[in-house]
Every structure is written in structure tokens, then in C-alpha cells.
Amino acid sequence: MTPATRRARARRGEGELLRAEILEAAERLLIETGDQGAVSIRAIADAVGVTPPSIYLHFADKNKLLAAVCEVRFQHFDAFMTEATAGIEDPLEVLWARGRAYVRFGLDHPEQYRILFMTRPLTDVAPGELDRLPGLAAFGHLVDEVARCMDAGAIAAGDPFLVATSLWTAVHGITSLLIARPDFPWPDLDRLMAHLIDVHSRGLQGPAPAP
Amino acid sequence: MTPATRRARARRGEGELLRAEILEAAERLLIETGDQGAVSIRAIADAVGVTPPSIYLHFADKNKLLAAVCEVRFQHFDAFMTEATAGIEDPLEVLWARGRAYVRFGLDHPEQYRILFMTRPLTDVAPGELDRLPGLAAFGHLVDEVARCMDAGAIAAGDPFLVATSLWTAVHGITSLLIARPDFPWPDLDRLMAHLIDVHSRGLQGPAPAP
DNA sequence: CCGTTAACCTAACAACGATAAGTTAGCGGC
DNA sequence: GCCGCTAACTTATCGTTGTTAGGTTAACGG
């Protein structure tokens, strides 16, 4: 594959345009190839119509680039889950809708999900900017909804953080295994999710363990 | 680091010795560096005291080597979990003991767990040798134990495969997230596991959803 | 039209996985 | 004792990767 047509140089002050084009091309390659390893700096540069070093004018290294790609995608993560719960009154149903949305989002964006939640963090998170952790806002909302369920008596009173963490690991378990082991003879996803919700809706109503 | 002292050539018919040394060195590097990317063919060869091409006398490529490393480790996987349930009478307690052992094993061998269950399969599994899938025997035993619980009336009757799959995703969710996101402010693991077991022991006793 | 500088490119490095082709040394046979 | 076969390696090299140093082009203010 010969290099794509050379990209026209941006006008003065418009250098940031390249950054956006790089992000777009990188995500497109990530989705098309389905392989993080195939998304090389050279392949991205080629897709954009630019030489490899130009990438480094906008991203310190490859990890930062991939992190940026995922950050863009996951800005929609929390919003997507919140939308999925719009108009639902029952706080317990809100929880289940959120869980279903989580799994769906992960399976719709498997490569980004893999980078964000199935590999070690690409960029070390400095203490103090923990709030910029992707998905942390979403987790906060989950804790809130769990607390709301407890207040409404929909689930047994207890530690909302502990319950939220457990719910997170539950939906992550399904999402990540489906992504990592697609060759396993999985039962129908809807059945699996229904069972998960069934178990939890019953299991969370009993007395919580002592904190 | 200069190359380690050169390894003495194996005697005739003892070429397989090198294979074992390579596997050992590869796993040691994997554990010490904690980074799959740092385990290069050259680093392994250096650790063994041999040149890189010698690796290929025993392994077709790097993926096959890493797969072999994990296979060795996971030959103990099912046995470890079975041992953890030895002497337990209550079939439900057997299930929980197995779950605890699963998480412990994963956290004790995080890099191998990551390769086996958190990345796409290193080597494509040919149809017909599905039974050699690492951990599949272990999964079979899980299904058996779930069925035993159903027979004993410890959990509601239903599809043992569905329930076993769900339990697998549950323990995998905890294990894999703990490995991938060690920086998250996790609650105490024992508390998390106790909550998981609490929820499931209650949730699995109600009527199962229709198959 | 000139000079500044933003926006790139050319050339190259070290490290990687992998391969082709050569070399060394253990050991049975005479 | 030493010859030859070949198992057990090595040397040299290829193409690709992430990344950097330093040079070049062209848009725009004056």
C-alpha cells in the first residue's frame, strides 16, 4: 500500500486540525483492524497523509495518543448510560438499565473497552487528577443510584460503595470475558443479563453483611 | 547488562533441556518485570545464555512460547481449585471455596491470568482440540458442582451451564479488574468476596428464570 | 517583498520478531 | 583413534517498530 495522498499543510494557527485528524484515523484503524498492535504510528501517519514524526507534534508518545482516543470515546460513556435510564422511575430498574447499557457500550466499542479496562493504564495517573480517570464520573453516578435504591428500600441498606463496586465487577466480568473469549460457547447475552439481574435483585434484598 | 555467561551446549539427545530453561526464564522475566512487552525473545535468550534464534528451535514463534508458559502454569489451575474444596461437604460451600480459590489464583499469577483471560487468545484454537483450552476442564468441574447444588436443593433448579457461566463472569470480573486497575480504591478483597457470596447465595435460591 | 516561525519533512537510531545459512561438538561405527 | 553424521547451536541480516535530531517549506505581518 503506497502512502495515501499527501495531506495539504494546515494554515497558520490551524495546526490543531491535524490533531483531530490523527485521533479520527487512529480510532478508525483501531476499529477496522480490531488489533491494537496493528495501529502503528506509521499506519496512522499514512492514513492521515503525513510522516510519522508529525504525530509527535501533537502527542508525546503512542500511549498518550491511544489514551486520547479512548478518552474521546468514553466522554460519551457516562452520558450513554444515563440516557439509557431516562424516564425510568423505579430506582432498581434504573440500576438494571444502567448495567445493560454498560455491557452494550463495552461490546459496541470492544477495542476501546479493552484498552481502558482490560490492560494496565496507558498513562500513569498523577495523584490529584484522579477525577480525570475515565469512567470515574460514571462510577460516582452508580454509587448514587445504589444509595437511592437503599433509601427507597429497594435493596437492603448497607455500604453503597461496596455494592456499587460489586455491581461494576459483575458487568465488567461479562463484558470483558465476552470480548476476550468470543470463542467460548456463550449463552444468549440477554439470558445471561436476565440471570445476572435476577440473582442480584433477589440477592441484594436480604440483610447486608456487617461493614 | 552484558549477556549472561554462555550456556554450555546440551549433550546429544538432551536438546529438550533448553526448552525447559526457556520456559523457566520466560516466566521469571514475566513475573519480575510484570510487563508482557518487556519479555522479548532477546531478553529470554540472554537470560538463558543463548542467542535469539535458538528459541525458535523449540517454539514456532513468540506467541506459542507465551502460550506454553501459561499452559504450564494453568495445569495447576484446576487442581488448585479442587484442592481448595477438599473436605468440604456442603455443595454450596464447595462452590464458594472454588470461587475464592479462583480469585486467589488469578491474583497470585496476574501476568499469566492477563494473558489467558484478558487478551485475545495467543494461538488460534483449532476446532476439535477445544478440550485443550486452558481452564476448560476447570469450567466443566464448575458446571458439575453447580448441578450438584441444584440436585441437593442448595440452589434453585435451572440451567447449570447458565449459572456456571454467570459465576465464572462474576469471579473473573473481580479478578481482572483488580489486576487491570490496581489504582482504584478497592474495598477489602475479603469484604468484596463475602458480599459476592452473600448476594449469590441468596440470589441463587429463588426461582430460576425460564430457560 | 522580506523575515519570522508554525507546520511540517528527511534521515537515522536502537530494539524488536523472525529467517537463512553457516559452524561446533557429541557420539556411534570401524 | 579418528571419521562422519547430525543435533545443537551461532552469525549475519531482514523488515518493522517507536522515537528523536535537525533540516525545510510556506503562510502571514510588516
Whether pLDDT at B48 is above 90: yes
Is pLDDT larger for residue A208 or for residue B145? Answer: B145
Q: Print the domain residue range for B51.
A: 1-59
- As a whole number of angstroms, the distance between CA A178 and CA A171 comes to 11
Q: Which residue has the cell 479442587?
A: B82
Give the model's pLDDT for residue B12.
73
Q: What is the CATH number of the domain that holds B134?
A: 1.10.357.10
In a shared domain, residues B142 and B191? yes
The angle, 0 to 180 degrees and rounded to 10, between the axes of the packed helices B16-33 and B41-48 is 120
Angle at A86 between CA A81 and CA A87, to 5 degrees: 155
Nucleotides of D under 7 A from a protein CB: 7-12, 16-22, 26-28
B190 Cα distance to chain centroid: 20
Using an 8 Å CB-CB cutoff, list chain B residues near A115: none
| CB-to-strand C contacts below 7 angstroms | A 6-7, 9-15, 17-18, 49-54, 57; B 9, 11-13, 39-43, 52-53, 56, 61-63
CA-to-C1' distance for A63 and D9, Å? Answer: 38
Is residue B159 one of the residues assigned to a domain?
A: yes
Tell me which of B126 and A19 has the higher pLDDT.
A19
Instruction: Find out whether B118 and B180 touch, Cβ atoms under 8 Å.
Output: yes
Instruction: Specify the CATH number for the domain of residue B47.
Output: 1.10.10
Structurally, chain A folds into a number of domains equal to 2
- Non-local (6+) Cβ contacts of B65 within 8 A are B22, B23, B26, B41, B44, B55, B59
Residues A46 and A97 in one domain: no
Flag whether B208 is in a domain: no
Domain boundary among A59, A82, A109: A59
A31 and A131 inside one domain? no
What residues of chain A have any CB closer than 8 angstroms to a CB in chain B?
Answer: 117-121, 125, 159, 161-163, 165-166, 168-174, 176-177, 180-181, 183, 186-187, 191-192, 194-196, 198-206, 208-209
Q: Does A174 lie in the same domain as A96?
A: yes
Cβ–Cβ gap B195/A163 under 8 Å: yes
Does the residue B162 lie in any domain? yes
Question: In this structure, are residues A18 and A65 in contact, taking their beta carbons and an 8 Å threshold?
Answer: no
- Is A188 domain-assigned? yes
Q: Quick one: A168 and A143 in the same domain?
A: yes
Give the pLDDT of chain A (211 residues) as one tens digit per residue.
344 678 888 777 777 899 999 999 999 999 999 888 899 999 999 999 999 999 999 999 999 999 999 988 888 898 999 999 999 999 999 999 999 999 999 999 999 999 999 998 877 766 656 556 667 889 999 999 999 999 999 999 999 999 999 999 999 999 999 999 998 999 999 999 999 999 999 999 976 544 4
Distance from C-alpha of B201 to C-alpha of B63, rounded to nearest angstrom: 40
Q: Which of the pair, B122 or B186, is modelled with greater confidence?
A: B186
Instruction: Look at residue B180 and tell me if it is in a domain.
Output: yes
Are both A170 and A102 inside the same structural domain?
A: yes
Question: Which of A96, A114, A169 has the most B C-beta neighbours within 10 Å, making it the best mutation to test the interface with B?
Answer: A169
Dihedral (CA of B196, B202, B205, B209) sign: negative
Cα–Cα distances (Å) from A195 to B134, B139, B161, B210, in that order, read 26, 18, 12, 10
Both B94 and B128 in one domain: the answer is: yes
The Cα B81–Cα A78 span in angstroms is 37
